[in-house]
Amino acid sequence: MPVSSDLISIIMPAYNAERTLSQSINSVLNQTWPDWELIIVDDCSNDHTADMILKYERSDSRIRHIKNGKNSGVACSRNYGVAQARGSWIAFLDSDDCWEPEKLALQLEFAQQMQARFTFTGSAFMDESGCRLSHQLTVPDQITFHQLLKQNVISCSSVMIRRDLILQYPMGSDRMHEDFAVWLQILRENHMKAHGLNRPLLIYRLSPSSKSGNKLKAARMTFRVYRHIGLSYPAAFYYWCWYTIRSLKKYRNIKRSKTDS
């Protein structure tokens, strides 16, 4: 498959996403950077998700609708989308998150300035109904493998990464934070750093039904990540404690911002 050096391929898994899908797609259509393709992977939705995708596909040739043969989960859906991508850059956007209009343009410029293959951005937040919160997630200029072990500051929907790099690291089981595991593997095995653009270009939707919404479940999934990448039980527990403390602090700040909003 020919790969375009200027094209950014956006991978969006979608499952029963009719309530939030339009807002997410519209945030792509509003991008100031025009050279993109949006690959929406329908994971066998049983609501009106497929009809909505087809409507957008007919209205803009940059939108591509593909469908899993069976319900396969978000990790497999992302992998399928990456395999179909034609761009040299891959960006991820979940079907309930949104971007600021200049997200792709600023991030591509940043990647070129830093000569970076793996970039991410800061985040703003909205509640389940789409109301913006005052809290923002700031990110470091760069992060190493050992730093990332202590807190995952790389939101999947903020990532822009070279296609040839992410193709080497397909996402694994949905029983863990599959994206976190991939970021760690990339940084460790390539002896590299991920570069952070500290601007809230992602608007992340908080949902009690999401993986991160259930704190006990999220904690277990984080521990599975550490074991999946080969950490010993003592090392996994050490970093899990760091991760838990920092996560509790983050969610306390988010909770306060809900009260302030």
**What digits encode the pLDDT tens for the residues 140-195?**
999 999 999 999 999 999 999 999 999 999 999 888 999 999 999 999 999 999 99
Q: Per residue in 58-87, pLDDT tens?
A: 999 999 999 999 999 999 999 999 999 999
- Asked if residue 30 has pLDDT above 70, the reply is yes
42 to each of 133, 155, 196, 214, how far by Cα in Å?
29, 21, 30, 24
Q: Cα torsion for 15, 20, 53, 105, to the nearest 10°?
A: -110
Burial class (CB in 10 A: 0-12, 13-18, 19+), 52: buried
- Asked if residue 211 has pLDDT above 70, the reply is no
Structure letter (DSSP) for residue 70: S
HSE value, Cβ hemisphere, 13 Å, CA-based, for 128: 5
Which pLDDT score is estimated for 251? 76
Distance CA 257, CA 71 (A): 36
Distance CA 64, CA 81 (A): 10
Q: Per residue in 39-51, pLDDT tens?
A: 999 999 999 999 9
